[in-house]
Structure 1
Amino acid sequence: MFSKICRGAAMLLMLLACAAAILPQNGEAARREAVHRLNYFQSYETEVDGRQALRIEVGMDRDNVTYDVTTRPYLEKQLIIDLSNTEPGKLKPDYTLLAKYAKHLHIRELEARHTQIRIDCKNPVVDGSYAVHAEPADRTAKKPYRLVIDIFATGGTASSSRVAGVSGHSVVIDPGHGGSDTGAVGPTGVTEASVTLAVSKDLQSILENSGARVTMTRNKDVDVYGPNASDRQELQARVNVGEYTPGAELFVSIHCNAFSNPASHGMETYYYAGSPRGERIATLVNEELEKAGGLFNRGVKTANFYVIKHSSMPATLAELAFITNAHEEQLLSNAQYQMKLAEAIARAIGRYFSGN
């Protein structure tokens, strides 16, 4: 009997020892998983790598928070940040932000220890239009460990260029092709749709920096009308963007040329015959592109292109270069050259509005 009791006691001691070995680890796990409680909020305008930005700082009572940043195609101007193992803590559910960059910030606990930050931005949320990172506590500045969110004013482009003459005016920019339609394709695979969008975004940035109101027929690689549209439906959808934009004064469509002969080269601009103001903007864009781009000038021409024919406002269509020409394809795919073309078109628009 005594031996059985001893064996039972020995087993009990072994179990207690195992439990003791496990408990500290569970305590460490609990400490690792301790909830983050938000306790600090600040937003202010600053400069980040040469770009104007709205900086938002959301602080918490401990470090090493896990977060995911997402965007949603159907809410293109909303930035969403999900914080794991986090509670809203002392922060308000809603904050008003600088309208130049974003309108509102919302903080919600969607479920236990899952907090979501939603920011309603002014511009579409695309790669390069925002940045998110964590920073350690700064005792000197009396700031806790925090998540830092930068919202850039220019919707993803880094241009700080400005032009005179456009402030207060409303311009519609039409990046040609997109979505199911790549447009022409260069020898190394560069697509017309990607070039026109890049140049158009640069142009948008410059005009908005200069005080203009800009409406884009598309700001990402999509069909404007939607899937399964006819060519006429797609083109009319682009025209409609301009027609339905209150106060729109000018329609500028951006394209790249193409031809079966790879030696074809140069740039040209178009307007619809019988539109003297269309001719004026086409001429100005042509002059500025020639000076900035350094390509052969094929002239200012008339055409029945749908978007310039059916726009009720003055309209022009610019063929920046031949994407089917190896040299010009290389230029068109270069970000610095794209910006140079955008600056040229912006100057032309400034001259148009100022009468120069």
Structure 2
Amino acid sequence: MNQDIHEGLEKEEPFLFSKICRAAALCFMLLACLSAILPQSSEAAKREAVHKLNYFQSYETEVDGRQALRIEIGMDRDNVTYDVTAHPYLQKQLVIDLSNTEPGELKPDYRFSSKLAKALHIRELEARHTQVRIDCKNPVIDGSYAVHAEPADRKAKKPYRLVIDIFASGGTANSSRVAGVSGHSIVIDPGHGGSDTGAVGPTGVTEASVTLAVSKDLQSILENSGARVTMTRDKDVDVYGPYASDRQELQARVNVGEYTPGAEIFVSIHCNAFSNPASNGMETYYYAGSPKGERLATLLNEELEKAGGLFNRGVKTANFYVIKHSSMPATLAELAFVTNPQEEQLLASPQYQMKLAEGIARAISRYFSGS
């Protein structure tokens, strides 16, 4: 190595050392700053609102004129974030997911002695994600439940809490009553069900689900009015049972009426369908040669037109099995076309379902009162 290069390196070494020292000092300063900041960040994370569940109560009550099972789940902080889900494949289960929440002091399972729900389950699916599942006794649809948060009530010794109301009827209040039916015995036949969905609308609404919803609303109105109501089915099942022929299933429905002591009328509820989605309207049927059946079908037709506001396709005769083989006055109603997009949307609405039920109840009232 020549002398000039050697001297140059000797001159550079102090300079490089000085730069390294300054860089190291800067790193130590940054590390010191980070060490001061990071504990605070960790403490901030700890202070983030983690809701620990610490309160549970359930009781029967009345909410806006509707019978309800009220469930209250309390926690040690306010402003909880939650999502409510009703799965179509679990028709009777309501699911509520609570973000940034831990089960805390609550038990994993609660049982209810209620006609509206059977049990409630609390599970921590993952860190700070708690799920509440409620096993209801009726299908969970829009209007059959309500969820909201309420502030702490020191006077009542209640913390901030999530309030879940499970209602007796999916849809609007079922406190409606009609005159003239008290003491009378009525058979209601919700068409299809179980292995037979009936007609299916463009978005998947099934005839079986609509007929059951309307029938249950109708049952509630009539029973509130003092009538004795027998349903051929009160859930999504085959009346005869699985693997039945069409004739066996239809006869099983007729038999429900025939074997009901004192049954006076048979009302079968259906939705219409056609390959042309423009087909629309409602209509009612009776078996030819049954003057009382004709009168019942006529009254039903008039009241459904008023209640539903759809095109009236008239009162017609038909050899439908259930009205032909019923020994009592019988009628079959086609509420609307589930294959029509607009009418399918109406049929899926709990409010519209209740309107139709009220119309049918008024027709039955007129039938028995002679008006």
Please give the TM-score of this superposition, normalised by the length of structure 1.
0.68
Q: What do the CA deviations read for 1:77-106 (whole angstroms, capped 9, x no partner)?
A: 22222334321514573132432x333333
**Which whole-Å CA distance do the structure 1 matches of 2:336 and 2:123 have between them?**
49
Match of 1:25 among 41, 65, 71: 41
Instruction: Please tell me whether residue 150 in structure 1 is matched to residue 165 in structure 2.
Output: yes
Measured in 2, the distance between the counterparts of 1:46 and 1:70 equals 24
Say whether 1:127 aligns with 2:127. Answer: no
Give 2:269's aligned amino acid.
I
2: CA distance between counterparts of 1:136 and 1:330? 37
Structure 1 residue 59: deviation in Å?
Answer: 0.7
Tell me by how many angstroms 1:161 deviates: 0.8
Q: CA deviation at 1:346?
A: 1.8
Q: 1:268·1:318 contact (CA, 8 Å) conserved in 2?
A: yes
Structure 2 partner of 1:271: 287
**CA displacement at 1:7 relative to structure 2:** 5.5
Aligned to 2:30: 14
CA distance in 2, matches of 1:209, 1:72: 31
Structure 1 regions of 5+ residues with no counterpart? Answer: none
Provide the aligned C-alpha RMSD in A.
5.2
Q: Which residue of the partner structure matches residue 122 of structure 2?
A: 107
In the TM superposition, residue 60 of structure 1 has moved relative to its aligned partner by 1.0
Q: Distance in 2 between matches of 1:26 and 1:234?
A: 68
**Which amino acid is 1:78 matched to?**
Q
In structure 1, distance between residues paired with 2:23 and 2:148 = 58
- Residue aligning to 2:111: 95
Which of the numbers 300, 305, 323 marks the counterpart of 1:308? 323
Match among 295, 298, 301 for residue 286 of structure 1:
298
Q: Partners of 1:104 and 1:264 in 2: how far apart?
A: 42
Corresponding letter in the other structure for 1:32: E
1:171 aligns with 2:183: no
Q: 1:161 to 1:235 in 2, by over 3 A?
A: farther
> What is the identity percentage for the equivalent residue pairs of Structure 1 and Structure 2?
52
Counterpart CA distance in 2 for 1:132 and 1:106 is 16
Which structure 2 segments of 5+ residues have no match? 1-13
Highest Rg: 1 or 2? 2
Distance in 2 between residues matched to 1:38 and 1:336, nearest whole Å: 37
Deviation at 1:143, TM superposition (A): 1.8
In the other structure, the counterpart of 1:254 is 269
Residue-by-residue CA offset, 1:156-193 (whole Å, 9 max, x unaligned): 2334212353679573332579957248x9xxx9x995
Which residue of the partner structure matches residue 357 of structure 2?
Answer: 342
Counterpart of 1:318, as a letter, is A
User: 1:293·1:340 contact (CA, 8 Å) conserved in 2?
Assistant: no
